[in-house]
């Protein structure tokens, strides 16, 4: 009886280890991708409004640069068409004129 119990225990351990070893392989086979990041347009920032100080101008340029990077990322992920996020970013950038 004791030998049977230890054999079952060893078999159970081997099964558990084998199952755990296949988890990373399954994740690689599915091509695990991190969740898609949402690129939101900041309604409190306006690219068309005039700026009153160099700091505001720098913040505006940084915001526009970030939007351009987000637009580039979204186009690489989905080059076939424009989604809502791409359209919102495009509308926001259409108002931007660098100085």
User: Where exactly are the structural domains of the chain?
Assistant: 1-32, 36-99
Residue 33 region, left (φ>0) first, then alpha (ψ -120 to 50), else beta? beta
Q: pTM for the full model? A: 0.54
Q: Which two tokens mark 67?
A: 């939007």
**pLDDT tens-place string over residues 5-32:** 556 566 666 667 666 666 665 555 555 5
Non-local (6+) Cβ contacts of 70 within 8 A are 39, 85, 89
**pLDDT tens-place string over residues 43-94:** 777 787 788 899 988 988 998 899 899 888 888 888 877 788 888 888 888 8
More confident residue, 28 or 98: 98
pLDDT of residue 84: 84
CB 45 within 8 A of CB 63: yes
Count of CA atoms in the C-beta half-sphere (13 A) of 31: 0
Secondary structure letter of residue 48 according to DSSP: S
């Amino acid at each position: 009886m004791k030998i049977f119990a230890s054999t079952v225990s060893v078999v159970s351990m081997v099964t558990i280890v084998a199952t755990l070893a296949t988890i990373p392989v399954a994740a690689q086979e599915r091509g695990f991708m991190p969740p898609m990041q949402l690129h939101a347009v900041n309604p409190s920032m306006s690219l068309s409004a005039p700026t009153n100080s160099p700091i505001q101008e720098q913040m505006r340029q940084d915001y526009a640069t970030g939007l351009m990077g987000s637009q580039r990322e979204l186009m690489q992920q989905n080059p076939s068409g424009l989604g809502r996020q791409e359209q919102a970013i495009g509308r926001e950038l259409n108002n931007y004129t660098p100085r």
